[in-house]
Chains A and B, each alone.
Chain A
Amino acid sequence: MSTSEEISTLLVTKFGTDPEAIRPDVPLHRLRLDSLALEELRLHIEDRLDVDLEDVALTSRDTVGRLVEAVQGKVTA
């Protein structure tokens, strides 16, 4: 499963996000990911993909695509 698919799966199963709404250009706040949810998502991604996202700076204004890109950078690091 690709990083993008892994993140989509987490959004659907852990946050109840509509899979149709998950597109690269959509800001995270449009998916109802506030600062609390973003930190929770960070923990889920770290557990699922065995990466450390501690120094990745993300806000709810960032897009799904930016999130995937940031995680991919850590996966391949």
Chain B
Amino acid sequence: MSAAAAAPYRRTPLAPFAAAVTGVGLVTSAGTGTAAAWHGVTEGLAPSAAPRPELDGLPCDFFYSVTDCDPGAVLGVATQRLMDRFAQLAVIAAREAVADAGLDPAVWDSGRVGVVIGSAHGGLSFYDEQAAALAARGPRRVSPKLAPLSVVNGAASSVSLDLGVHGPSQAVSTACSSGTVAIGTAHQMLRSGACDIVITGGAESTCTRLLIASACSLKAVSTRREDPAAACRPFDTHRDGFVVGEGAGLLVLEHPDHARARGATVRAHVNGYGASSDAHSAVAPDPEGLGIERALRTALADAGLSPDDVGHVNAHGTSTLSNDLIEATMLRRVLGDSPLVTSTKAMTGHTLGAAGGIETALTVLALQHQLVPPTVNLDAPDPQIPIEVVAKEARAASFDCAVKTSLGFGGHNAALVLTRP
């Protein structure tokens, strides 16, 4: 038998798939509820950044907190007691997103509904509290709830319990890109036919002495204690690290046929997703930004769109020296200088695993309102940053396509491409 030359393998690209965003839910330090959060972010309102007693004495003793939402009052004691705070924020955001989508969990086909929620640390607050109880009072004072409350899937399971979801529910944990990877995973689940509806995004609440002390040791967080509300300043010459925040940002992502059949209002579409790994460092991004470039180009190809189509980018923009320069240089290389870029972390803080969820939700709203939120503390743009960052005030613009980028410790990169319906 003669050996015919094997044809080189060619992957058959999937047809572009536009998942419909039919609902949004937000709990952030810029405001709780989509309307309040959008108002806070677009008006550049200062977040609540008062020093926290549990961080007393640390080089960074502040944290961007959610202050206009009392989970106990919203959820009730019986529900709240079975959740760490990050899961409580997720449930509150999920209820808003589902209501916004016009869905009724009492009548939906619950086996066709899924949940995918990203978180970097899960129930770290409860874990930290119980570790302190163990040290101070011994093993018999440790709560039996440690395992169910501290696991990273606590937000996903709590949302499925609260809303009666019987389809697949899962957590995604890729550090600070978790929320973006969760939405990308949900996009794939809808495309594959596994679900008709997926509630997806990210949730995080990690104001613990343990975590912030470690971030201080890493020299990753801002120490601008004299002006904490202005400490997070992405792309600014005087940026000195990120500020940890808490929150949840969830979408109702829906198969377009399902959304159409029930006459749902579509806020935006998620058209493409790309992810990559740097294989470079446990904490530092690839110095050339090659990993996040791969994720972005993959997302654009997945969407069947080109760099020229992109009018707005909600960047990862953490306010660290290296991230902002590497990311901005990559954005210029891939997208040119025309997209209007922002980092909303200046108002929300860096919510770690929730960031991708919150920022994708804000990207949906930017597309819908044709308004780019400002990078509010950008007083002295870094001359090395080669992109157009919307500073200080929101800017009205006309754009049909936007991008969300995220990078996570461990080299987890992700990008989403969204469009107007």
Name A's B-contacting residues (CB within 8 A).
13-17, 32, 36, 39-40, 43, 47, 54
Asked if B141 is an interface residue, CB under 8 A from chain A, the answer is: yes
User: Nearest chain B CB to A45's CB is how many angstroms away?
Assistant: 13
Q: Contact: A36 with B78, CB < 8 Å? A: no
Beyond the given pairs A15-B77, A15-B78, A36-B145, 15 more chain A to chain B contacts, judged by CB atoms under 8 angstroms and listed by A's residue number, are A13-B77, A14-B81, A15-B81, A16-B77, A16-B79, A16-B81, A32-B78, A36-B144, A39-B144, A40-B143, A40-B144, A40-B145, A43-B143, A47-B141, A54-B140
Closest 5 CB pairs of A and B: A16-B78, A16-B77, A39-B144, A16-B76, A36-B144
Q: Contact: A14 with B77, CB < 8 Å? A: yes
Task: Classify the secondary structure of B's interface with A.
Answer: helix
**Could you say which of A16, A32, A54 has the most chain B C-beta atoms within 10 Å of its C-beta?**
A16
Task: Classify the secondary structure of A's interface with B.
Answer: helix
User: Nearest chain A CB to B394's CB is how many angstroms away?
Assistant: 41
Asked if B105 is an interface residue, CB under 8 A from chain A, the answer is: no
Q: Which residues of B are found within 8 Å of A39, using beta-carbon distances?
A: 144
Asked if B148 is an interface residue, CB under 8 A from chain A, the answer is: yes
Q: Which residues of B are found within 8 Å of A43, using beta-carbon distances?
A: 141, 143-144
User: Nearest chain A CB to B130's CB is how many angstroms away?
Assistant: 11
Residue of A nearest to B77 (CB): A16
Pairs across A and B, CB under 8 Å, 5 listed: A16-B76, A40-B145, A43-B143, A43-B144, A54-B140
Q: Report the separation of the CA atoms of residues A17 and B76 in the bound assembly, to the nearest whole angstrom.
A: 10
Q: Contact: A36 with B148, CB < 8 Å? A: yes
Q: Report the separation of the CA atoms of residues A43 and B140 in the bound assembly, to the nearest whole angstrom.
A: 8
Residue of B nearest to A38 (CB): B144
Q: Report the separation of the CA atoms of residues A13 and B81 in the bound assembly, to the nearest whole angstrom.
A: 10
Q: Which residues of B are found within 8 Å of A47, using beta-carbon distances?
A: 141
Q: Report the separation of the CA atoms of residues A7 and B148 in the bound assembly, to the nearest whole angstrom.
A: 24
Q: Report the separation of the CA atoms of residues A22 and B42 in the bound assembly, to the nearest whole angstrom.
A: 50
Q: Report the separation of the CA atoms of residues A31 and B49 in the bound assembly, to the nearest whole angstrom.
A: 40
Residue of B nearest to A17 (CB): B78
User: Nearest chain A CB to B87's CB is how many angstroms away?
Assistant: 15
**Could you say which of B79, B143, B144 has the most chain A C-beta atoms within 10 Å of its C-beta?**
B144
Q: Report the separation of the CA atoms of residues A64 and B341 in the bound assembly, to the nearest whole angstrom.
A: 61
